């Protein structure tokens, strides 16, 4: 399954969305807080938009399709899977990347600076 997920991830990297391209331009090559991010990173049966492995942080940039009941449930299941493996998930709407990129980066900054095993920061939506 790992080879299949890697192949899918490579394909997704080639056809990234504009919002993913914007985020990647800010996160790649340790440009933000010297944090190593990976894009379209396979984690088990899922592919995270962005992942900082050393911080166990997943950043998901969600478009409008994530606002439908079936997708909301899939996202909850995915987040549950990731949390059970020690990851924290920050989900942001795609329009936040355009309208409030500083706020998105602030979410990452707050997570990295407040991380502790007992009190992980998790931005939850649709709770």
Residue by residue, DSSP assigns 8-46 as HHHHHHHT--HHHHHHHHHHGGGTTTT---EEEEEETTE
In tens, the pLDDT along 39-97 reads 999 999 999 999 999 999 999 998 877 888 898 999 999 999 999 999 999 999 999 99
126 is a domain residue:
no
pLDDT, mean of residues 23-51: 94
Q: Report yes or no on 20 lying in a domain.
A: yes
* C-alpha closest to that of 19 among 103, 95, 102: 95
Report residue 13's pLDDT band, with 50, 70 and 90 as the boundaries: low
pLDDT on residue 94: 93
121, part of any domain: no
Hey, what long-range contacts does 100-105 have (CB within 8 A, 24 or more apart)? 101/22, 101/26, 104/23, 105/26, 105/32
Using alpha carbons only, give the angle 108, 111, 114 rounded to the nearest 5 degrees: 145
pLDDT at 115 over 70: no
Angle in degrees, CA 36, 8, 38, rounded to 5: 5
Domain of 39, CATH number, reads: 3.40.960.10
Q: What is the pTM of this model?
A: 0.80
* Residue 10 covered by a domain: yes
CA–CA separation, 42 and 64 (whole Å):
22
Domain, as residue range, for 80: 2-114
Specify the number of domains making up the chain. Answer: 1
User: Is residue 125 one of the residues assigned to a domain?
Assistant: no
Q: Is 85 part of any domain?
A: yes
Kindly state the helix (H) or strand (E) to which residue 108 belongs, with its residue range. helix 101-114
Q: Are 58 and 48 in contact (CB under 8 A)?
A: yes
């Amino acid at each position: 399954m790992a080879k299949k997920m890697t192949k899918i991830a490579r394909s997704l990297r080639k056809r990234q969305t504009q919002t993913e391209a914007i985020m990647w331009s800010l996160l790649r090559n340790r440009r933000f807080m010297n944090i190593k991010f990976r894009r379209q990173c396979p984690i088990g049966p899922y592919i995270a938009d962005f992942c900082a492995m050393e911080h166990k942080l997943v950043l998901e940039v969600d478009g409008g399709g994530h606002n439908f009941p079936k997708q909301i449930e899939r996202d909850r299941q995915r987040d549950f899977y990731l949390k059970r493996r020690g990851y924290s998930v920050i989900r942001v709407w795609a329009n936040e990347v355009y309208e409030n990129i500083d706020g998105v980066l602030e979410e990452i900054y707050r997570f990295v600076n407040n991380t502790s095993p007992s009190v992980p920061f998790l931005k939850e939506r649709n709770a």
